[in-house]
Amino acid sequence: MHAYLNHVPAVVLRLDRNPFHHGTLGAVRSLGRKGVEVHAVVEAGGGPMGRSRYLRAVHPGPVGGLDPEAPEALLDCLTGVSERIGRPAVLIAMDDLSAIAVSRVAPTLRERFRIPHQPDNLPARVADKAELSRLCARWDVPHPETVIPASGAEAAEAAWRLGLPVIAKWSRPWLLPSGADGLRSTMLVHTTAEARRLYERSAEAGSRLLLQRFLPAGADTDWFFHGAFARGGRPLLAGSGRKELSWPVRTGLTAVGRWLPDPAVEEAGLRLAERLGYQGILDLDFRRDELGCFRLVDFNPRPGAQFRLFADSAGLDVVQAMYLDLTGQQVPQPSGGPGRVFVAENYALLARIRGGSMPRRPALVPADPAGSAGASASSAPGADRGTAPKRAPRRAVERGRVETAWFAADDLLPFLAMLGALLGRGAGKGVRALRGVPEQGRRTALAVVRAPRQRSRNQSEAGSAGSAGSAGSASRPVPPGASAEPDELVTR
């Protein structure tokens, strides 16, 4: 066990209102098991996480929530928490909004909290999807082709040119109004009319709309990189892993993940942190395209919810490494870990029921061992985006133990509380179904049930049309100049 300065408490901060955020519970347990006094600033009660035996106290967040553009309310909230604790504490932001807000008030908090040094509003810059796209272009980091339209007509034209369906993202998702109908941080757009309508809601969304080329998901396409970094981007602990299951299926967070070292992913993450001079914890998402090139799709300036996947044989993870660094202690050299599996039980169950097993993709031809260094470098930042890199052979990894997000023999109450809340939600939905729902709700539910079959039929028709030939552009549907007629939308 590492030597911890247990007189330095820790405060985990989460400003989003997701009661099932298992990453916050992971941070509480990780530090609490080392004897650190852990406090949490979250929504009232803290949800299932608030039942953890390793949590000293739950403190309410800013009254009435937080305006991301005016973080003064967070300053008042954290000042009050600091006064109740009575001594300086390490502050760890667990979601994008928290990381961005903390960086904006950090100079005023430094006497009360130990915080990573992140100048020039860095968390907001890297979390902004538009800024990330420009950063990738400037540093030649592989990234999905992205268009930032300046009008509804441009949005429709870009969606057509990128190839439907396309991914639509709001550049600053933390500004999205809560409960806004049809506005989500990331969406799959199937028609040019839908792209046009989304652009017309830019003012309501609070940020710019981005359209990205859709990269098909598969069994070996979704990867992530987690790291903790000291000043100047010096790595304390880092690792790469692969999503085995996600929720929502193929597009969401990691429901089941495996720690798998991959030289291309790791080199890309380490180089990006070094160029930024990044200090703190980060979580990067990559998708491997049809040519085998890893493309950066998301930069989260905080721990990923599955960060406990990257715990070594002594339990050291990125949260512990950051705590040790911020309290002036030596971070031990990591030992062991690859092969571990992380399971978020609630999301894994939903993903398995909804999506079943993901289809297998043919593996890329492994590189010759003598040329593995060159193969790894070819898909790192600066590589030619038009070539298909060979994957360097991965180090053999033993089957590691499974880390569960909620169940822990030494801390059962959060798991039981999560299970009760999950069953309660399911029962509530069942009661509403038995009582009947409005006509529009019944149509939506029916559309959701039929959607997989409809997609399959559409794909078959598209395949037949493609094989019928390149008979010419005359047979192509009318492009974006067509009027924005209402589309049949499926609400999920």
452, pLDDT greater than 70: no
**In 3-state terms, what secondary structure has residue 277?**
coil
DSSP character string of 311-332? --TT---HHHHHHHHHTTPPPP
d(CA 49, CA 406): 9
35, pLDDT greater than 80: yes
Q: How many CA atoms lie within 13 A of 142 on its CB side?
A: 29
440, pLDDT greater than 60: no
Q: Of the given ranges (18-27, 184-193, 332-341, 376-385), which has the lowest mean pLDDT? A: 376-385
Per-chain mean pLDDT for the chain: 82
Q: What is the pLDDT of residue 179?
A: 76
DSSP bridge pairs for 256:
245, 343
| C-alpha 26 chain-centroid distance | 16
Q: φ and ψ at 229, to 5 degrees?
A: -130, 140
| C-alpha 432 chain-centroid distance | 32
**Long-range own/partner contacts, residues 176-179 (CB < 8 A, 24 or more apart):** 176/205, 176/206, 177/204, 177/205, 177/206, 178/17
Nearest CA-CA partner of 122 in 262, 244, 270, 302: 302
Token pair in block for residue 445: 């539910």
Q: What is the pLDDT of residue 180?
A: 79
32, pLDDT greater than 80: yes
**Long-range own/partner contacts, residues 365-373 (CB < 8 A, 24 or more apart):** 365/390, 366/390, 366/391, 366/392, 366/393, 367/391, 367/392, 367/393, 369/393, 372/263
Q: What is the pLDDT of residue 435?
A: 66
Q: What is the DSSP letter of 355?
A: H
4, pLDDT greater than 70: no
Give the CA angle between residues 218, 223, 224 to the nearest 5°: 155
101, pLDDT greater than 70: yes
Q: If you average pLDDT over residues 297-312, what whole number do you get?
A: 97
**In 3-state terms, what secondary structure has residue 167?**
strand
Token pair in block for residue 77: 């909230």
**C-alpha dihedral (462, 463, 468, 471), degrees to nearest 10:** 50
Beta strands in 151-248 (DSSP E): 166-170, 186-189, 209-213, 222-230, 234-247
d(CA 93, CA 98): 5
**C-alpha radius of gyration, the chain, whole number:** 23
Is 302 within 8 Å of 96 (Cβ atoms)?
yes
pLDDT digits (tens, 9 = 90+) for 129-183: 999 999 999 998 999 999 999 999 999 999 999 999 999 999 999 999 877 788 9
431, pLDDT greater than 70: no
Give the CA angle between residues 27, 29, 33 to the nearest 5°: 125
Is 239 within 8 Å of 261 (Cβ atoms)?
yes
86: left (phi over 0), alpha (psi -120 to 50) or beta: left
Q: Of the given ranges (51-60, 256-265, 321-330, 471-480), which has the lowest mean pLDDT? A: 471-480
Is 247 within 8 Å of 267 (Cβ atoms)?
no
**How many residues are recorded in the chain?**
492
Q: What is the pLDDT of residue 466?
A: 47
271, pLDDT greater than 70: yes
For residue 215, which amino acid is it?
L
Token pair in block for residue 376: 């790894």
Residue the block writes with tokens 């395949």 = 463
311: left (phi over 0), alpha (psi -120 to 50) or beta: beta
**In 3-state terms, what secondary structure has residue 241?**
strand
